[in-house]
Amino acid sequence: MSSELIWIEEIPVERIDEFWSLHMKYLVDDGIIEDEEDIEYFAGDEYRGIIRSHMIRKCDRHHMVYFVEDGQRIGAAQYNTYQSEDGKCFILDFWVFPAYRGKGKGHACFEALSAYTRADGAKHYEINSEKENAIRFWTSLGFVRAGTDEYGMPLFVLKAGHSVHTVREMILETERLRIRILDQDEMQNMIARTNDPELKKAYGEMLQGSLEHPAQWEWYAAWNIEGKDGETIGDLCFKGLGADGRVEIGYGILEEQQGRGYATEAVAAAVEWALAQPGVTRVEAETDPDNKASQRVLEKCGFKPSGIMGEEGPRFFRTRAEAFA
């Protein structure tokens, strides 16, 4: 089965040894388990014997799967669907292989898994997680906190009838930065945290545009600019995608982070990404007439003055033809 180009490959019990090697690497490298006792348990015969026995039972069978795109395995998961109960699908593990992360694959893989498991009787989904980035991912899909499991781990549930969010898991990487698209909850939190009335209004307009154009979320939503350690440095946005292929970029760097070249690094990456998207012909921006620093950022990123004054000040542009000449 597939979701767009993502296919599910079932792993038979005879081939689970190759899965275990990938599984241990994921658990350790992603920091899911850290102490020697846990490592010994998950690599041991007791845990693996339980999983094997559940894979061969007739009812509520355990599944291991790969996610496959264009003939390449890009991730894996293991889960149980309890048809004998209420159709709960409990996801034990779910991960995209490192080489394919930050490209929207996580959402696509879950959509594929959701379609595959629903055909097998899944009605709703549960997963436990305490890693911040994992929680952010699952809540972006619509999972909500539902207390803790028997081990004290935070439990998250996607209820029956809840449609999966279509927000793309989009991260742009530069030498020093991660530029990450925000989902609805994150933008609502941003609005709540902001005291500046103008910024609050701008963030509200971004959220409204995103909700009104969910298929073009990335062109209306806020993108967080952060360091590799997750520290917020600033944000940027595109102000919608015009019918003529024009987009406008806006950006800001926190005052305490200014003067370090972050704006140029972030804008350059965002503009390069935008001009590579189908249908985009031109990226525009405008700055306050007195904001020479912002104008220098645009010039360093290949923008040229248009000779037009916008509402905020002079407008600049860069075209697709120039970017890929």
Give 7 or 223, the one with higher predicted confidence. Answer: 223
pLDDT of residue 168: 57
Please compute, for residue 210, the number of CA atoms within 13 A of its CA located in the half-sphere on the CB side: 27
In the structure, what pLDDT confidence band is assigned to residue 165 with cuts at 50, 70 and 90? very low
Please compute, for residue 299, the number of CA atoms within 13 A of its CA located in the half-sphere on the CB side: 8
Contact (CB, 8 A) for 123 and 141: no
In the chain, where the domains are located = 2-158, 171-323
pLDDT of residue 4: 44
Contact (CB, 8 A) for 187 and 206: yes
Contact (CB, 8 A) for 83 and 97: no
In the structure, what pLDDT confidence band is assigned to residue 3 with cuts at 50, 70 and 90? very low
**Domain 171-323 falls under CATH 3.40.630.30:** yes
pLDDT of residue 1: 39
pLDDT of residue 45: 93
In the structure, what pLDDT confidence band is assigned to residue 149 with cuts at 50, 70 and 90? confident
* C-beta pairs of 58-65 under 8 Å, 24+ apart in sequence: 59/83, 59/84, 60/84, 60/85, 63/10, 64/10, 64/11, 64/16, 64/19, 65/8, 65/9, 65/10, 65/11, 65/113, 65/116
Q: What is the mean pLDDT of residues 210-220?
A: 83
pLDDT of residue 213: 78
Structure confidence by residue, pLDDT tens digits, 219-247 = 999 999 999 888 999 999 999 888 889 99
Is pLDDT above 70 for 325? Answer: no
Task: Please check whether the two domains, 2-158 and 171-323, share a CATH topology.
Answer: yes
pLDDT of residue 29: 87
Residues 6+ apart with CB under 8 A from 324: 275, 276
Is pLDDT above 90 for 178? Answer: yes
Determine if the pTM surpasses 0.75: no
What's the chain's average pLDDT?
88
**Domain 2-158 falls under CATH 3.40.630.30:** yes
Give 176 or 5, the one with higher predicted confidence. Answer: 176
pLDDT of residue 160: 60
Q: What is the mean pLDDT of residues 199-204?
A: 90
